[in-house]
Amino acid sequence: MKQIVAQKLKDLRERSPLVHNITNFVVMNNTANAILAVGASPMMVHGHQEVEAGVTISNSLVINIGTVDDYWTESMKKAAACAKKLNKPWVLDPVGAGLSTFRDEVLYDLLEYEPTVIRGNASEIMALDQFSDGETKGVDSTKSSFEALSAAIALNQKYGAIVCISGEVDYIISKEKIVTVRNGSPLMTKVTGLGCSSTAVIGAFLGLHSNPFEEAIAGVSILSLAGELAHKQSNGPGSLQMHLLDILYQMDDEILFRYLQVDEYSELF
């Protein structure tokens, strides 16, 4: 499994996929930087007249609904529809799922365009499974990733998407297998947009367009590992964000084989 992640990283840097992002205002800068640091090329266009041109020339698409409004809803739907039509892989980040009927309806519409991957925290994955939730606390999760496992499996079965849950343990779920990543750091929750950065890096790997399950594993692994290693060099969340980008850029076989804790399970546990 480490070997696969290492190979995907090599492929990414060789091919430098172009990643189209329709994402939220809060994280545009740091997720673009995460995509660049890992070795891909970000693009962010959302104008209704050109969003499909953006999808067409890109290798993959990231949709993150964090600061969605009327105009951006339309941008997202156009982009997702275009990705489906052109068979481009795309990842959905259901930020704040369960906050409002509006948000859940946007998500429901986007799910119809069959995201290749869905990544969220436990609260978001659980809300997405049910499209109703009285316990959302904004955009931060109040639940452990383990608690969202059955919701993630249900989502995978219903929509066919690979589902990633971020948390103390990260889960990546396909129809056949579950992979866990035991890297990361609690300090990552004190930096805005690192979950969104995980989604963005997954999107970068999806641009390889070969094996989306392996690509999702690579994206989750590398972001969480970079966060863990960044924490060791950091005095707080400000320096963590900076070091994380540096380490994404420095990431190589040696670091991966030494520190990555990724495990595969072929049946539910």
Binding site for a second copy (CB under 8 A): 18, 20, 24-30, 32-33, 36-37, 41-50, 53-54, 57-58, 66-71, 75, 96, 99-103, 136-140, 189-193, 234-239, 241-250
Q: What letter does residue 98 receive in the DSSP assignment?
A: T
Measured from the CB of residue 79, what is the shortest distance to a second copy in angstroms? 13
Q: What letter does residue 234 receive in the DSSP assignment?
A: -
Q: What letter does residue 176 receive in the DSSP assignment?
A: S
Give 22 or 178: the residue with its C-beta nearer to a second copy.
22
Q: Do residues 204 and 60 lie in contact, with contact meaning Cβ atoms separated by under 8 Å? A: yes
Cα→Cα distances 74→52, 234, 252, Å: 12, 40, 39
Helix and strand numbers, DSSP H then E, in the chain: 11, 9
Measured from the CB of residue 31, what is the shortest distance to a second copy in angstroms? 9
47 by Cβ neighbours in 10 Å (0-12 / 13-18 / 19+) ranks as exposed
Q: How far apart are CA 200 and CA 63, in angstroms?
A: 9
Give 86 or 242: the residue with its C-beta nearer to a second copy.
242
Q: What letter does residue 193 receive in the DSSP assignment?
A: T
β-bridge mates for residue 162, sequence order: 117
Measured from the CB of residue 203, what is the shortest distance to a second copy in angstroms? 13
Query: Which contiguous run of DSSP H or E holds residue 102?
Result: helix 101-111
Give 122 or 149: the residue with its C-beta nearer to a second copy.
122
Give 57 or 268: the residue with its C-beta nearer to a second copy.
57
Measured from the CB of residue 135, what is the shortest distance to a second copy in angstroms? 10
Measured from the CB of residue 128, what is the shortest distance to a second copy in angstroms? 16
Give 95 or 172: the residue with its C-beta nearer to a second copy.
95
Measured from the CB of residue 35, what is the shortest distance to a second copy in angstroms? 8
Backbone conformation region of residue 236, classed left if phi is above 0, alpha if psi is from -120 to 50, else beta: left
Give 116 or 241: the residue with its C-beta nearer to a second copy.
241
